[in-house]
Copies of this chain bind each other. A is one copy, B any other.
Amino acid sequence: MSIGAHRTAANVLRLRRLGIDTYQESILFMSAECPVCRSEGWEALARVRVAHLDHAIVATLNVTTSDLLAPDEASLSEAAWRALGASEGDEVVLSHPGPVASLGHVRAKVYGSRLEPPAFAAIIRDIVAGRYSSIHLSAFVTACAGGRLDQDETIALTRAMIDVGERLRWSVAPVVDKHSVGGLPGNRTTMIIVPIVAAHGLTMPKTSSRAITSPAGTADAMETLAPVTLDIPAMRRVVEREGGCIVWGGAVRLSPADDIIIRIERPLDIDSEGQLVASVLSKKVAAGSTHVVIDLPVGPTAKVRNPDAAKALGDLLVVTGAALGLRVAVMEGDGTQPVGGGIGPALEALDVLAVLRREPAARPELRERALVLAGRVIEFSREVPPGAGYDTARALLDSGAAWKKFQAICEAQGGMCEPPAAAHRHDVVAERAGHIEVIDNRLLARVAKLSGAPRAKAAGLALHVRLGTRVERGEPLYTLHAESPGELAYARMYADQNRDIVSVSGGTQ
């Protein structure tokens, strides 16, 4: 029996809010002078069970050596407050957590063993229960990377991730979806595909993410046009009325394990195929989808760097999907440059509106990519033969049916508005004449973030050129947009220091 599992005067502390945000990691703060800390022999980084009423979490201990906390007080990181559902002044009972049995499976994986489905189920349950520290999560992600998950293990991991979250059910079939494997700025095809597909009569309950490291996620761009923070009943009402929606996935929490694992994968920058497949497909199955198109941009600064990698990943997606009753179609595409000219929530929304409204300024590559993908989705419906989807999609876009459907979806989600415009702008111009040779997607995203995106909705940049475009000296390459003069200055400084964000051929610098 674990000591302190029961409430005694010795292991009860009063909670005080310090307001420390550690992203998703649960941290417990406790004074080094606190009797519980001393008698338990706890030190910084120990794992501690924190119970409040009938809830309990496991947190990593940070010890305070100042008067920040009194000896009878404790505090929590913001994530831990949320996970525990506690309020300032509440009492918590501290104890040693039981051993985390599923870490034995992680160790087995580290030593090269194959894991059976119950092992993945146990690991994922413990991850969602907050029993893994960042150190444990990193070990799990690392042990599964580098091709160390085979086909069956990938299926088992995906199924385990589905089983710990909510799962939507729909009365219609097919229920379709579309997912882009990340890495390209401005790739806002979703907001064009959903209204086309819904206008065709298919059901497409789309959940999208907000920006994490990028200047905008689809949910951020959509939010400049309509509310996106809908709960599951609200989302269901929109889909039942209009056939489609574009809402923020964070509000519906369809794959809570994925939300936690992604936090660790990002700083590691490890592309684990098995984890990627589990991440994408678990969300789709949880959303109740039956048919999914996966957009796989291939290019040197995209996530998938060459055709061989695309083929291997595509096969794994298709086979894993099939095992879970999900029909997956993979479409490779050009990943060498941004899709669309706007980068930032409002600027990307404007690109989408231009395509839907069939404006002359609409970006042809965004329109084209959206039509190709929407066409493939539409071919999931029985009455559209293979190869005929593109023309059907184009007809729905050109007739205005898609634009009408988009407005209806926005209204159903809570009302449509115009995206905000930035008060402060600056053109970055070509220093010499020539052709555009290279566009660095990564640096471009960085400039857009320095302008204030995604927090400042109107901020970001509008790119005026594509690879191969001929420019004259002094001609604008891109325009910075900012909501404040300070942020504009900051982005300008960075752009001035990095003249190779957009490289122009010809002549020596």
Which chain A residues have a beta carbon within 8 Å of chain B's beta carbons? 1, 3, 10, 17-23, 25, 29, 32, 35, 38-41, 43-45, 47, 62-68, 77-78, 103, 107, 110-112, 133-139, 141-143, 145-147, 263-264, 267-270, 449-450, 452, 455, 486-487, 490, 493-494, 497-498
B-side contacts of A65, CB under 8 Å: 19-21, 78
Which chain B residues border A142 with CB–CB below 8 Å? 110, 138-139, 142-143
Contact B145 A20 (CB under 8 A): no
| Residue in chain B with minimal CB distance to A448 | B41
Cβ-defined contact, A3 with B497, below 8 A? yes
Q: A267: which of B17, B133, B452, B494 is its contact (CB, 8 Å)?
A: B133
Which residues on B sit within 8 Å (CB–CB) of A138? 134-136, 138-139, 142
> Are A63 and B267 CB-contacts (below 8 A) given A135-B138, A139-B142?
no
Nearest-neighbour CB distance to chain B for A196, whole angstroms, equals: 33
Contact pick for A145, options B35, B110, B146, CB 8 Å: B110
User: A268 vs B47: C-alpha distance in the bound complex, in angstroms?
Assistant: 12
> A268 contacts which chain B residues (CB < 8 A)?
107, 135-136, 139
Listed by A's residue number, 23 A-B pairs whose Cβ atoms lie within 8 Å are A3-B493, A3-B497, A17-B66, A18-B68, A20-B65, A21-B32, A22-B44, A23-B44, A40-B450, A41-B449, A41-B450, A62-B77, A103-B269, A107-B270, A110-B142, A111-B145, A111-B147, A135-B135, A135-B137, A136-B138, A138-B142, A139-B270, A142-B142
* Chain B residues near A450 (CB-CB < 8 A): 3, 39-41
Q: Are A267 and B39 in contact (CB under 8 A)?
A: no
Give Cα distance in the complex from A25 to B25, angstroms: 14
CB distance from A294 to the nearest CB of B (A): 23
Contacts A21-B65, A47-B267, A135-B264 known; 11 new A-B pairs at CB < 8 A: A1-B497, A18-B66, A19-B65, A20-B63, A38-B455, A39-B452, A107-B269, A111-B146, A111-B147, A135-B138, A136-B267
A231 to B23, CA, bound (A): 40
Alpha-carbon separation in the docked complex, A350 to B10 (Å): 31
For A39, the chain B residues whose CB sits under 8 A away are 450, 452, 486-487, 490
Q: Name the residue among A38, A39, A137 with the largest chain B CB count within 10 angstroms.
A: A39
Closest to A32 in B: B21
Q: Which residues of B contact A267 (CB under 8 A)?
A: 45, 47, 133, 135-136
| With A41-B450, A138-B139, A490-B10: A68-B145 Cβ-Cβ less than 8 Å | no
Q: Give chain B nearest CB distance to A73 CB in angstroms.
A: 14
Residues of B near A449 (CB, < 8 A) are 41
**Which residues of chain B have C-beta atoms less than 8 A from A64's C-beta?**
18-21
Interface centre among A3, A20, A38, A268 (most CB of B within 10 A): A20
Chain B residue numbers with a CB within 8 Å of A111 are 145-147
CA of A110 to CA of B47, assembled, Å: 27
B21–A63 CB distance below 8 A: yes
Give CA–CA (A142, B20) in the complex, Å.
29
Q: Which residues of B contact A134 (CB under 8 A)?
A: 134-135, 138
Return A270 CB to nearest CB of chain B, in Å: 6
Which residues of B sit under 8 angstroms from A43, Cβ to Cβ?
23
What is the CA–CA distance of A445 and B204 in the complex, to the nearest angstrom? 58
CA distance A285 to B31 in the complex (A): 39
| Cα–Cα, bound, A143→B490 (Å) | 39
Q: Within the assembled complex, what's the spacing in Å between the Cα atoms of A135 and B268?
A: 7
**CB <8 Å contact, A112 and B486:** no
Chain B min CB distance to A246 (Å): 24
Roughly how many angstroms separate A40 CA and B142 CA in the complex, as a whole number? 29
Q: Which residue of B lies closest to A1 (CB)?
A: B497
Residue in B20, B40, B44 whose beta carbon sits within 8 Å of that of A21 in the complex: B44
Cα–Cα distance between A45 and B137 once the two chains are bound (Å):
15
Cα distance A143–B138 when bound, in Å? 10
A267 to B48 alpha-carbon distance, docked (Å): 13
Closest 4 pairs (CB-CB, A-B): A19-B66, A138-B138, A23-B44, A111-B146
Chain B residues positioned under 8 Å from A67 (CB to CB): 19
> How many Å from the CB of A67 to the closest CB on chain B?
8
Given the known interface contacts A1-B497, A494-B3, the answer about A62 and B20 at a Cβ–Cβ threshold of 8 Å is yes
